[in-house]
Amino acid sequence: MDSAEPILSLKGIGKSFYGNRVLADVSFDVGAGEIIGLVGENGAGKSTLMKILFGMPVISETGGFEGSIYFNGKEARFKTPFDALDAGIGMVHQEFSLIPGFTTTENILLNRESLNSSVLVDVFGPRISTLDRATMESRAKSAIAKLGVTLDPNMLIKEMPVGHKQFTEIARELCRENVKLIVLDEPTAVLTESEAEVLLSTLRLLASEGIAIIFISHRLREVVELCDRVVVLRDGHKIEDFPAKGSSTKQIASLMVGRSMEAQAKIDAASAARSTQSDSDARETILSVENLWVDMPGETVRNVNLSVKKGEIFGIGGLAGQGKLGIPNGIMGLSPAGGSVVLNGTPVELNAPRAALERNMAFVSEDRRGVGLLLDEGIDWNIAFTAMQVQNQFLKPILGGLFLWRSDAAMSNLAEEYIKLLEIKCTGPGQRAGNLSGGNQQKVCLAKAFALRPDVLFVSEPTRGIDIGAKHLVLDTLKKYNSEYGTTIVMVSSELEELRSVCDRIAIVYEGRIEGILPHTAPIEDFGILMAGADRDETTVALVGGN
Amino acid sequence: MDSMKRFVADFGLPRIIITLYLFALFFAAPFVGVNLPASISDTMIRIGMNGIMVLALVPMIQSGCGLNFGLSLGVIAGLLGATISIEMGFVGAWGFGAAILISQVFGAVFGYGYGKLLNRVKGGEMMIATYVGFSSVMIMSIAWLILPFKDPTMIWGYGGTGLRTTISVEGFWRHILDDFLVIQIGENFKFPTGAILVFAAMSFLIWVFFHLKIGTAITAVGSNPTYARASGINIDRMRIVSVMMSTMLGALGIIVFQQSFGFIQLYEGPLYMAFPAVAAILIGGAGVNKATLTNVFIGAALYQGILTMTPSIFNAVLKVDMSDVIRIIVSNGMILYALTRKTKVAK
Amino acid sequence: MSSKLRNFFIDNAVVILFVVLIAIAIPVSGLPGTFLMQEILTRLGRNTFLVIALLLPIMAGMGLNFGMVLGAMAGQLGLIFITDWNIVGIPGLLLAMIISLPISVFLGWLCGSIMNLAKGREMVTGFILAFFMNGLYMMVVLYAMGSIIPIMNPELLLSRGYGIRNVVGLDGVRQSLDTLIPLKIAGLNIPAFSFLIIAAVSYFIIWFRKTKIGQDMRAAGQDRAVSGAAGIPVEQTRILAIIISTVLAGIGQIIFLQNLGTINTTSSHEQIGMFSIAALLIGGASVTKASIPNVIVGVILFHLLFLVSPMAGKNLIGSGMLGEYFRQFVSYGVIALALVLYEWKRVTQENDSRATLRGGGAPAAKEAKGGAA
């Protein structure tokens, strides 16, 4: 495939946001008709790389990037996504960007419609011309024909099955005259297996016509099957760039999640030190989950079975979108859910946050600003509110208990206590939560959960978007809390290393199900296999299967 | 300089202009021969008249239901209370008390239904509230025509059907609050102690309410409904409580208004009752999702001050009465400003 | 087939309700059929243009344009000037329209820009903006005219020497459009030329929908983010929709007032927004969808109700006011109903779209998601 000149050539691309490095010295080429699989965990830098390629304004607003991009033989620095589109790069996003009430044709040609000529144009400009529907339909048809699938050009998007929407998006990119490179971000995530098959053969067809493709996907099997070469990103670095032929999902997965040797050694040592703790088999079960489904947008849980032992730290990992976040949100009643959750032998009512809280479970949400905090209220309110409402703490009965009066002083004391304990940097208990930094906001969220003195604490993505120092403090606090109070902690995180360094056992979620549960001491490759949805008949049998 | 800028940003340019305008009016008053004590007295009376209506907006703003343009529902409850009390023949304090009591029952019922409706249309409350308010006023207009009221002071003497458009409360409970412990200084200055006391008492009750467990929960619902839900709060129930409170306060507010004004205005009278109250609380510094008692006091004082001072000053200086036009521009300009301001985000 | 019939009833519930209501009210009112026919023809000529002015903002996803009152104000200013200058007949009306045009464009631009600041609550913003601008309009008409703005005809002015009188007679241009082409069929006067203008503006709307800019407007109305990402200038397109609506409202108000023959200086424009919106909704339109047939059906039904309800009220309980209040209730109520249905539908649709992701068995859930492929 190494034709004379690559279509796209990335040389030494680097980028940092506010001193936080997310990409460093990434270089690779894409030749005409070549399909590149771009893989990496969340936060590995894939989306930043694509933002740079497309000239998204957010890049230049945060100080531009390092390195250079050559497209079609010329150095390219796109100022807006429109420049990139004009140059011949198409993008198919993970979320549909289609207009539901428009037909296939109208969507394919959105803002590139064929127009009838009209004398009014000279006076009012080209937007006054009427649409040439016949030409539009034939243009759309020819774009669809390139895909090798049948789509009704006059069907409304909202009446289409999901797969057809995805094809419409691709057809839209193909419809540009000069398209030379198409980037697809998780194109198969919403498709069924048969639909995905069709999509893959379509992509092969396009490549055979000389169009280069960058295929971003967590479905490693598809990457191996479809791509010519695979580029693995990890922590902003390009780790490997190798032919897909002959590689295995297992190999790619370990490259994605693997760490350098010394880091590995450090973690192993840490795990070993904790190995005394992890004699969890002997302990009694505190929480057992059966046939749980959760409808959480983007994190659908289909059928989860697991049980958590009393006093352990139980990890839940997996790649983005596989449903790991749905599990705590479902159990805590925040997303519509069904199935059975049993705590200490008694079933927990689902879809009722209050019932979950009253059973002494607490949740630190991954969505700090959306769910976790009252941004406009002070730290004291944020920490004390849930405990006040659920457990009647910080309330004084007045008029013989007829009313419950909020004790601002008690709330303030509590806030002071946690500000000291968790080293929350702030001006005082009254400071608005919205004005705190990410790490300190996260500490407030933890304090809110601690104030409930829970039996089971769910923590979701506790270190997302906070700096290293705060990360350590948060994780250490969790460990300390677990050992001091014997609180059972269920921690959900996309960072496998973090899970391995904190948890006793770790469940990996894949496509809404538990793919397997491993002790934290298991080799990293085994986790990688589970995360990539290993072929069940080969490897999973040997592991502790979720279902 | 920076602190100045921040002050302007926080307080809002329109609010500063309005405040300066009012100060200018007061400053100009003695020079153009306007009787300042009488003006201040008028302002106080108007604050006593309208304060509770402004206060009635606080619960719904705090619970995130937005500006209650449907306050006319509360006003209707108040009108029902007043007319039924008169029909039953109560006079004086008894009549006033009965009017309030009955109005609260209606207010609770209306508020409950109204709250249920608003819970089904989250996000579109304000426009729906306006038109639900408008259509209820019209339904009630039909009702005033056909309800079997008999008291001769209220129904058309001859040749008409139903209740009069305005009913005097003279002989029932006119000025019952305004004249309670009234402080009269000279000929021109009168302090409506009773009305102000009731306003203060209601404000205190609201203050207490928002320091209780339930009030705290309502505040959290308005601040971040998702957070509140995750803390086990039943959002819909909290919103209904706030809507009921707002409607019941509106009912009380209109009765206090009537005792001072001296008349009950039926039919289309309640149509635009919500708008001055909304303008007042916004001038006082409230946002669409956050209001404090300070906002209520400052707002009521500024708004009523402008309403009192503008005509007298303009009449004295320009010999024209532009007060209506200025009132329209100031109140709607203020509402418009609040609507178009981006929801405050953390810095 | 039965489900088709059911859907027809659901989709046209509002129209059917009003047809039934009117079918009952007409006999009760005792008004003669020819009278009603004549009145409806007159009112179609008078009001249809104004209602058409609402169509484009709905297409652009901005809902019911309560800000159309701004256009009505511009139209009235035009009429006041030509009355003062004593320009009569068709030239007078044309001049009034020409005067209203720049004012409408400016006000429409202002209204559109302000609505862009309040995306998602365009309706309440337009509603309040109409009140606000009414204040400025009164300032101009009641205080500036005759003092700062020269008014030559003293009969137009209030006795105090400045400010326009409450009622301005439009004798010079009265019904000059309606009677330009005299047409009488079966004893009924038909405002033929007004109908021609309405036909022309309807054609304009239909043509406009087919243009590129009309397509952009539809796209922006359905999804601002996607349209913006495709390079459509969303904000500009939205402003344009409001400008056109305001301009049409200005012309519409002139047509409306030439038929009535008088301007109520301080109030003619105030209710026009509400009446036009209510008529459109009674015709079966919604906050997101409206067509020319909705306009015609709506004007006929709304005004039939307007005509018969006072008499029906009088005959029922002996009070003309009952019908008056009833028709006001209908105007407000139908707007409230349309808004509730719109919000309610939005909420339920959000839930429905996720329904397939819920429910027990794992395989079932998986099938449901992409089963149709």
Give the pLDDT confidence score for residue C211 in this predicted structure: 92
Q: For the whole model, what pTM was predicted?
A: 0.84
Give the pLDDT confidence score for residue A267 in this predicted structure: 59
Taking the mean position of all CA atoms in its chain, how far away is CA A523? Answer: 24
Q: Which residues of B209-236 are buried (b: 16+ CB within 10 A; e: fewer)?
A: bbbbbbbbbbbbbbbbbbbbbbbbbbbb
Would A366 be classed as within a structural domain? no
Q: Do B332 and C131 touch (CB under 8 A)?
A: yes
Residue range B212-235: mean pLDDT, rounded = 92
Give the pLDDT confidence score for residue A340 in this predicted structure: 92
Shared domain check, A220 and A191: yes
pLDDT tens figures, A388-405: 999 888 888 888 778 888
Q: What angle do CA C214, C216, C219 make, to 5 degrees?
A: 115
pLDDT tens figures, B39-77: 888 889 899 989 999 999 999 999 999 889 889 999 999
Compute the distance between CA of residue C211 and CA of residue C216 in angstroms, rounded to an integer. 9
List chain C residues with CB under 8 Å of B155: none
Would A109 be classed as within a structural domain? yes
Please enumerate residues of C whose Cβ is less than 8 A from a Cβ of B: 114, 117-118, 120-121, 123-125, 127-129, 131-132, 134-136, 138-139, 142-143, 317-319, 321-322, 325-326, 328-329, 332-333, 335-336, 339-340, 342-344, 346-347
Residue range B182-207: mean pLDDT, rounded = 87
Residue range C83-88: mean pLDDT, rounded = 91
Residue range B178-207: mean pLDDT, rounded = 86
Q: Is residue A61 pLDDT above 80, yes or no?
A: yes
Q: Lowest mean pLDDT of A531-540, B212-221, B291-300, C14-23, name the range.
A: A531-540
Shared domain check, A118 and A61: no
Give the pLDDT confidence score for residue B184 in this predicted structure: 82
Locate the domains of chain B by residue range: 15-340
More confident residue, B117 or B5: B117
Q: What percent of chain B has pLDDT over 70?
A: 95
Shared domain check, A305 and A264: yes
Q: Tell whether C184 is within 8 A of chain A (Cβ).
A: no
The count of domains in chain A is: 4
Residue range A455-477: mean pLDDT, rounded = 84
Q: What is the mean pLDDT of chain C?
A: 87
More confident residue, B72 or C310: B72
Shared domain check, A149 and A189: no
Taking the mean position of all CA atoms in its chain, how far away is CA A320? Answer: 4
pLDDT tens figures, B227-252: 999 999 999 999 999 999 999 999 99
Shared domain check, A247 and A116: no
More confident residue, C321 or C26: C26
Q: What is the mean pLDDT of chain A?
A: 84
Give the pLDDT confidence score for residue C309 in this predicted structure: 83
Picking from B230, B234, B346, the nearest residue to A375 by CB comes out as: B346
User: What are B104's two structure tokens?
Assistant: 């609260």
Compute the distance between CA of residue A328 and CA of residue A334 in angstroms, rounded to an integer. 9
Instruction: Mutate one of B72, B116, B142, B315 to test the C interface: name it (highest C CB count within 10 A).
Output: B142
Q: What do you get for the CA distance between the two ends of chain B, in Å?
A: 19
pLDDT tens figures, A509-524: 988 889 889 998 888 7
**A530 SS3 class:** helix
More confident residue, B318 or B327: B327
CATH of B15-340, one of 1.10.3470, 1.20.920, 1.10.10, 2.60.40: 1.10.3470
Whole-number Cα distances in Å, A176 to A7, A36, A86, A499: 17, 21, 8, 45
Domain boundary among A240, A257, A274: A257
Q: Is residue A541 pLDDT above 50, yes or no?
A: no
Give the pLDDT confidence score for residue A464 in this predicted structure: 78
Shared domain check, A340 and A208: no
- What is the Cβ-side half-sphere exposure of residue B229, based on CA atoms within 13 angstroms? 16
Give the pLDDT confidence score for residue A2 in this predicted structure: 47
List chain A residues with CB under 8 Å of B215: 406
Domain boundary among A257, A276, A304: A257
Would A365 be classed as within a structural domain? no
pLDDT tens figures, C228-259: 888 899 999 999 999 999 999 999 999 999 99
User: What domain range is A207 assigned to?
Assistant: 1-88+181-257
Shared domain check, A144 and A233: no
What is the band of A282 on the pLDDT scale with cuts at 50, 70, 90? low
C-alpha distance from C58 to closest chain A C-alpha (Å): 14
More confident residue, C18 or B318: C18
Give the pLDDT confidence score for residue B269 in this predicted structure: 85
Q: Do C143 and B325 touch (CB under 8 A)?
A: yes
Q: What angle do CA B279, B282, B287 make, to 5 degrees?
A: 140
Would A24 be classed as within a structural domain? yes
Would A509 be classed as within a structural domain? yes
Shared domain check, A472 and A541: yes
Specify the length of chain C in residues: 373
Would A488 be classed as within a structural domain? yes
Between residues 221 and 280 of chain C, which touch chain A (CB distance below 8 Å)? 222-223, 225-227, 229-232
Shared domain check, A293 and A341: yes
What is the band of A315 on the pLDDT scale with cuts at 50, 70, 90? very high
What are the CB-based long-range contacts (under 8 Å, 24+) for B282-286?
B282/B67, B282/B334, B282/B335, B282/B337, B282/B338, B283/B15, B283/B18, B283/B330, B283/B334, B284/B54, B285/B11, B285/B12, B285/B15, B286/B57, B286/B61, B286/B338
Which one-letter amino acid corresponds to residue A55? Answer: G
Between residues 272 and 311 of chain B, which touch chain A (CB distance below 8 Å)? 290
What is the band of A430 on the pLDDT scale with cuts at 50, 70, 90? confident
Nearest to B291 by CA among B280, B302, B276: B280
Q: What percent of chain B has pLDDT over 90?
A: 38
Shared domain check, A121 and A137: yes
Shared domain check, A229 and A167: no
More confident residue, B113 or B150: B113
Would A465 be classed as within a structural domain? yes
Compute the distance between CA of residue C244 and CA of residue C236 in angstroms, rounded to an integer. 12
Residues with Cβ within 8 Å of A98's Cβ and at least 6 positions away in sequence, in order, are A107, A157, A165, A168, A169, C226
Whole-number Cα distances in Å, A313 to A309, A452, B26: 9, 18, 69
More confident residue, A141 or A400: A141
Domain boundary among A257, A287, A316: A257
Q: What percent of chain C has pLDDT over 70?
A: 93
Specify the length of chain B in residues: 347
Between residues 251 and 310 of chain B, which touch chain C (CB distance below 8 Å)? 267, 275
State the CATH number of the domain containing residue A280.
3.40.50.300
- What is the Cβ-side half-sphere exposure of residue A288, based on CA atoms within 13 angstroms? 7
What is the band of C366 on the pLDDT scale with cuts at 50, 70, 90? very low
Q: Do A110 and C373 touch (CB under 8 A)?
A: no
Give the pLDDT confidence score for residue A1 in this predicted structure: 44
Give the pLDDT confidence score for residue C2 in this predicted structure: 67
Q: Is residue A95 pLDDT above 90, yes or no?
A: no
Picking from B120, B145, B342, the nearest residue to C319 by CB comes out as: B145
What is the band of C116 on the pLDDT scale with cuts at 50, 70, 90? very high
Give the pLDDT confidence score for residue C353 in this predicted structure: 60
List chain C residues with CB under 8 Å of B322: 139, 143
Give the pLDDT confidence score for residue A536 in this predicted structure: 46
Shared domain check, A446 and A377: yes
Q: Is residue A104 pLDDT above 60, yes or no?
A: yes
Q: What is the mean pLDDT of chain B?
A: 86
